Amino acid sequence: MCERKGAEARALDRFSDGDGPDRIMELVSGLLSRVWLLTGLSDVTNDNRSKKMEEKALEVYDVIRTIRDPEKPNTLEELDVVTEKCVEVQELGDDEYLIIIRFSPTVPHCSLATLIGLCLQVKLQRCLPFKHKLEIYITEGTHSTEEDINKQINDKERVAAAMENPNLREIVEQCVTEPDD
């Protein structure tokens, strides 16, 4: 009984030093880190999440790669305006994602960059089967007026107004419609 009292007294003395609780938290934290590492749970969870985001990014890329260029008979993929690397997907919640696309116009003064951004917006809004938020940007340094165009193509009111214009809507439809459609 005396030994037990002695051990309890020593433990209380350590707490009264002021660094006792900190030391215990440090030990517990270290122990938990080792448990997570040894079980592999944290890596598995992150790997699964990462794979899921890669799959979503490929799904998005498959939708946009077939959009045709407004001036040329080629697709955006064929012209390297969009690539697999230009699509990033982040999980926002259960089945809700943030999609970020960075496209590269073929020339720094491309007059149709805004139209390409509009085509990306329209096709993704129509074709993606999951809830998402969309951000489309011109790849930094690839266009002379990228900041202005980025604002335009991410402004929902401007996108809606542009799609009310029958001539513009027809051009967008020609670009986003698949040859099989």
The pLDDT, as a whole number, for residue 2 is: 45
Task: State how far the alpha carbon of 76 is from the alpha carbons of 22, 79, 105, in Å.
Answer: 57, 5, 9
pLDDT in tens, 34-59: 666 666 655 556 677 789 899 999 99
The pLDDT, as a whole number, for residue 178 is: 84
Residue 135 included in any domain: yes
**107 within 8 A of 116, measured Cβ to Cβ:** no
The pLDDT, as a whole number, for residue 3 is: 46
Residue 46 included in any domain: no
| pTM (predicted TM-score) | 0.72
- Structural domain boundaries, residue 117: 51-176
**143 within 8 A of 108, measured Cβ to Cβ:** yes
The pLDDT, as a whole number, for residue 1 is: 45
Are 78 and 25 contained in the same domain? no
Are 34 and 80 contained in the same domain? no
The pLDDT, as a whole number, for residue 179 is: 74
Three-class SS of residue 72? Answer: coil
Residue 45 included in any domain: no
Residues in the chain with pLDDT < 50?
A: 1-4, 12, 15-16
